[in-house]
Amino acid sequence: MALARCDDHRPGDSEHVGYALPLGYPSTAVTCDVVGCENPARLWLDKDERKAFVAGTRVFTIGGGVKVRVADDLFPN
Per-residue pLDDT of the chain (77 residues; tens, 9 = 90+): 999 999 999 999 999 999 999 999 999 999 999 999 999 999 999 999 999 999 999 999 999 999 999 999 999 97
Q: pLDDT at position 20, please?
A: 98
Contact of 74 with 16, CB cutoff 8 Å? no
Where are the domains positioned within the chain?
3-76
* pTM, two decimal places: 0.93
Q: pLDDT at position 23, please?
A: 97
Rounded-to-integer distance, Cα 68 and Cα 66, Å: 7
Contact of 75 with 16, CB cutoff 8 Å? no
Rounded-to-integer distance, Cα 41 and Cα 27, Å: 10
Q: pLDDT at position 17, please?
A: 95
Q: pLDDT at position 1, please?
A: 92
